[in-house]
Structures are given as structure tokens and as C-alpha cells.
């Protein structure tokens, strides 16, 4: 199948996405500035970084800042994590009342110890009854569509993605994303798409969104061929390369370096607007990814580790992109 046939609008419940290329939630990476950039470059949908449901209900200023980003392009999903059905339900209702997003996504895939030790994130794949209660409660609490993101299972000996997806299907969720790794695999090794075989059939009319190591049109064709998935979620492939979306939807056959520098500058300026002076530090992960592969990057990396002057960072970026 041609890539053009695989990229198309996608419906999540009542929400129509302009296309099925989705920016993955990535804590510390996909803040408002990066989401806005990726949307402009053709991502059909963005999901927020994972947000603590408890933090919302406790009125944590930091948490509330993560869900109320004034320039957010819609449609947009906020991803919640937690282990209590009631708390997640209340947090989702809080978000819906304020019209902060179009879809609520529930995190059932986070591998990080401090999350799973409380029974949230991927730990929910070990407690499917609680996971079911969470999804049923959130679905009941809000009118907007609810989606769920999980992994293959806890580890290689406990791959339960098919049963877990079937469980979720019974709760009324309107989309399911699967990152094709186990919790124990973290982000290492290759994503194991083979475990997603024909998984879209299990989901029926609910779109399955495939995720894990998608970075080229060939990856899209392959994961679709194996799983039948209707949506494609891109995470690390977009860091330092947000134009991956426009390239995939065929809107640009490759930007020139001047255009790339323009997007770099916009990204940096909007990061500063969003986070103030702290934005310089937060941008570092992007900065090094943008510069990756350019000659002389090792030396400049060392210098930039301690650089807090935005003007210097911009001029280094310009030099790297425009020569
Ligand atoms: C730095 C980082 C932070 C992440 N944070 C989240 C998160 O907040 N919520 C979530 O569901 N997944 C999170 N993920 C996982 C990604 O959404 C995605 O599932 C994973 O990176 C695999 O996709 P990729 O190979 O395209 O990167 C994170 C991944 C990375 C690398």
C-alpha cells in the first residue's frame, strides 16, 4: 500500500483528526512549544506529557500549568496518570469542565519506577480489574472521548496486550495506542511489532494507534501491514526533527537549512515564552538533537552545557543550520 493511502483523517469518537500521524506524549519533551511546532508541521494530533490526576485535584500550580497552555492547537489530548478510578474520573471532569482538550488519554504504559510502584502506568497491565474500573469510571465521568495507551505487557514472560486491549474495548474507550515494548524493555532494543499482529481486528471500529520506532514511511507501511493499525504515533523520531510530520504527509520533500533554522528559532523562542528563563535548560534536549550529526558537534556540546544566554544558543543554531 502506498504511504498516501495510509495517511488519512482519523476519528476518535466524536473528534475528527485531520490526519493519523500523532505526536507521542513525552515527559520533558512535548511541552506546549514543541506540540505547537509539530502541529504546524503537520502532526494531526498531539498528546500532552503525562499529568498527575492527583496533582490536578490538589491544585498543584506546576500540574495545572501543564494542562492549561493558551496556544494549544486543537484537537488535542491530555494524558492522565494515576491508580485511583475516582481521582482519575474527577481530574478528567475538571479538564472537561474547562474545555482544555478534546480527548482524555489514560496512561497505562509508563515504565518509570516512581509511577509503577504506586500501581499506576504500566503496573495497571498487571491489575487489569483496576485498569478496567479506571477506564469505566473516566468514560462515565466525561462526555468527550477517552483513549488508553499501554505497552505489550510487564515483561517478555507476561505479554498480555491482546487481553488488555479486549478489556479496554469493553469500557467504551474510543482509541487505543500500543507501544510495542514491555515495561522491562523500557526504551531499549527494537519495538516488537510482531506482537501487534492483526490487533486492529481485535479493536474493531475503534482505531488502534501503533507506536514504537516509527521514523520512516517504510516503518508506517510495515507496522500497518502487521497490525492493521489506523493511526501512527511518533515519539523520539520527532526530537530534533519535527519536520518528520510534513515529510510523511508529503508536504515537504525536505526543508532547506534556512527553513530548518526558522523552525529551530521559533521552537526556542516559544520555549522561552512558555517557561521563562528555565526554558534554556529545558530546550537542551532539543538543542542537542537538532545539532546531532553536524560536524564539530562534540566540542560545541561541551560549551553549550553551561550556556544560559539565549542569544548565544540562537547564534550557534544559526551557524549549524546555515553554515
Ligand atoms: C523522554 C520520554 C518521555 C516519555 N513520556 C511519556 C509520557 O509522558 N506518557 C506516555 O504515555 N509515554 C511516554 N513516553 C513514551 C512515548 O510516548 C513512546 O511510547 C515511546 O517513546 C516509543 O515511541 P518512539 O519509538 O516513537 O519514541 C516517553 C518517551 C520518552 C523517550
For position 76, which CATH number holds?
A: 3.20.20.70
Same domain, yes or no: 87 and 166? yes
Domain carrying residue 264: 257-322
**Quick one: 204 and 314 in the same domain?**
no
Pair 114, 189 in one domain? yes
What is the whole-number distance in angstroms between the Cα of residue 235 and the centre of ligand 1? 6
State the Cα–Cα distance between residues 302 and 323, nearest whole angstrom. 19
DSSP for residue 174: S
Residue in 38, 110, 150, 229 annotated catalytic: 110
Given 226, 248, 270, the domain boundary residue is: 248
Q: What does residue 104 show for φ and ψ, rounded to 5 degrees?
A: -105, 125
Alpha helices in the chain (DSSP H): 3-6, 32-40, 53-57, 61-67, 85-97, 113-116, 128-141, 161-169, 199-203, 217-227, 244-248, 257-275, 279-282, 284-291, 297-305, 310-322
What are the two backbone dihedrals, phi and then psi, of residue 228, each rounded to the nearest 5 degrees? Answer: 80, 10
| N-term to C-term CA, the chain | 39
The separation between CA 131 and the C-alpha centre of its own chain, rounded to angstroms, equals 20
CA distance 212 to 296: 30
Q: Mean pLDDT, to the nearest integer, of 222-234?
A: 98
Evaluate: CB of 79 within 6 angstroms of ligand 1. Answer: yes
What share of the chain has pLDDT > 70, as a percent? 98
Q: How far apart are the CA of 127 and the centre of ligand 1, in A? A: 22
Cα(24) to centroid of ligand 1, in Å? 6
At 103-114, the pLDDT tens digits run 999 999 999 999
Residue after which a domain boundary falls, among 217, 248, 279 = 248
For the record, the C-alpha cell of 233 comes out as: 504515533
Same-domain pairing of 229 and 299 = no
Q: Are residues 50 and 193 in the same domain?
A: yes
How much is the mean pLDDT over the chain?
94
CA-closest candidate to residue 204, choices 240, 230, 225, 226: 230
DSSP three-state, residue 225: helix
**CA angle 57–58–62, rounded 5-degree value:** 100
Q: Is 28 in the pocket of ligand 1 (CB under 6 A)?
A: yes
CA dist 1 and 229 (Å) reads 13
- What angle is formed at CA 157 by the lines to CA 156 and CA 161, rounded to 5 degrees? 70
What's the gap in Å between 322 CA and the centre of ligand 1? 31
Interatomic CA distance for residues 69 and 303, integer angstroms: 32
Task: Name the residue among 92, 189, 101 with its Cα closest to residue 136.
Answer: 92
**53 and 167, same domain (yes or no):** yes
Question: What grid cell was written down for 158?
Answer: 507476561
Q: pLDDT tens digits, residue range 171-209?
A: 999 999 999 999 999 999 999 999 999 999 999 999 999
For ligand 1, atom 21, the nearest C-alpha belongs to 235
- State the Cα–Cα distance between residues 257 and 250, nearest whole angstrom: 18
Q: What is the pLDDT of residues 116-172, one digit of tens each?
A: 999 999 999 999 999 999 999 999 999 999 999 999 999 999 999 999 999 999 999
Number of domains in the chain: 2
The reply to whether 305 belongs to the active site is no
Task: Give the pLDDT of residue 316.
Answer: 87
Cβ–ligand 1 contact at 29 (below 6 Å): yes
Tell me, using a 6 A CB cutoff, whether residue 25 lines ligand 1. Answer: yes
Does the pLDDT at position 18 exceed 80? yes
Give the pairing type, strands 10-12 and 15-17. Answer: antiparallel
Closest CA to 93 of 84, 104, 82: 104
DSSP 244-260: HHHHHTTS-S---HHHH
**Ligand 1 pocket residue status of 231, Cβ below 6 Å:** no
Nearest CA to ligand 1 atom 6: 26
Q: Residues for the chain: how many in total?
A: 323
The C-alpha angle 17, 23, 28, rounded to 5 degrees, equals 140
Say yes or no: 177 and 108 in one domain.
yes
pTM: 0.96
pLDDT tens digits, 55-92: 999 999 999 999 988 778 999 999 999 999 999 999 99
- The residue nearest atom 4 of ligand 1, judged by CA position, is 26
- How far, in Å, is the centroid of ligand 1 from the Cα of 80? 14
Cis peptide, bond prior to residue 75, ω within 30 of zero? yes
Q: What is the pLDDT of residue 1?
A: 58
Contacts of residue 214, Cβ cutoff 8 Å, sequence gap at least 6: 220, 223, 232, 233, 234, 237
* Same domain flag for 31 and 127: yes
Q: Are residues 243 and 263 in the same domain?
A: no
Q: Domain check: are 122 and 265 in the same one?
A: no
**Where does a domain end: 248, 275, 294?**
248
Amino acid at each position: 500500500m502506498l504511504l498516501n493511502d495510509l495517511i488519512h483523517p482519523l476519528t476518535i469518537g466524536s473528534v475528527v483528526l485531520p490526519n493519523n500521524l500523532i505526536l507521542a506524549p513525552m515527559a520533558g519533551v512535548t511541552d506546549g512549544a514543541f506540540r505547537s511546532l509539530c502541529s504546524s508541521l503537520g502532526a494531526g494530533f498531539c498528546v500532552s506529557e503525562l499529568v498527575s490526576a492527583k496533582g490536578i485535584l490538589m491544585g498543584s500550580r506546576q500540574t495545572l500549568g501543564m494542562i492549561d497552555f493558551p496556544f494549544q492547537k486543537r484537537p488535542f489530548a491530555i494524558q492522565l496518570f494515576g491508580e485511583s478510578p475516582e481521582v482519575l474520573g474527577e481530574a478528567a471532569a475538571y479538564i472537561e469542565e474547562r474545555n482544555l482538550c478534546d480527548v482524555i488519554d489514560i496512561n497505562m504504559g509508563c515504565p518509570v519506577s516512581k509511577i509503577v510502584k504506586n500501581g499506576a502506568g504500566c503496573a495497571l497491565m498487571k491489575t487489569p480489574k483496576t485498569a478496567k474500573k479506571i477506564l469505566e469510571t473516566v468514560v462515565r465521568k466525561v462526555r468527550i472521548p477517552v483513549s488508553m495507551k499501554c505497552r505489550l505487557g510487564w515483561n517478555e514472560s507476561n505479554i498480555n496486550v491482546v487481553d488488555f486491549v479486549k478489556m479496554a474495548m469493553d469500557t467504551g474507550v474510543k482509541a487505543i495506542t500500543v507501544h510495542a515494548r514491555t515495561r522491562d524493555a523500557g526504551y531499549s532494543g527494537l519495538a516488537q511489532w510482531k506482537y501487534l499482529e492483526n490487533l486492529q481486528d481485535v479493536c474493531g471500529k475503534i482505531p488502534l494507534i501503533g507506536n514504537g520506532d516509527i521514523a520512516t514511511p517504510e516503518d508506517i507501511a510495515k507496522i500497518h501491514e502487521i497490525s492493521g493499525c489506523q493511526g501512527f504515533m511518533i515519539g523520539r523520531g520527532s526530537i530534533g526533527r519535527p519536520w518528520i510530520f510534513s515529510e510523511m504527509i508529503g508536504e515537504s520533500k525536505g526543508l532547506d537549512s534556512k527553513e530548518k533554522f526558522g523552525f529551530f528559532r521559533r521552537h526556542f523562542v516559544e520555549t522561552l515564552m512558555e517557561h521563562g528563563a528555565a526554558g534554556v535548560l529545558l530546550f537542551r534536549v532539543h538543542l542537542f538533537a537538532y545539532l546531532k550529526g553536524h560536524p564539530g558537534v562534540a566540542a560545541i556540546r561541551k560549551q553549550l552545557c553551561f550556556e544560559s544566554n539565549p542569544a548565544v544558543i540562537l547564534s550557534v543554531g544559526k551557524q549549524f543550520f546555515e553554515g
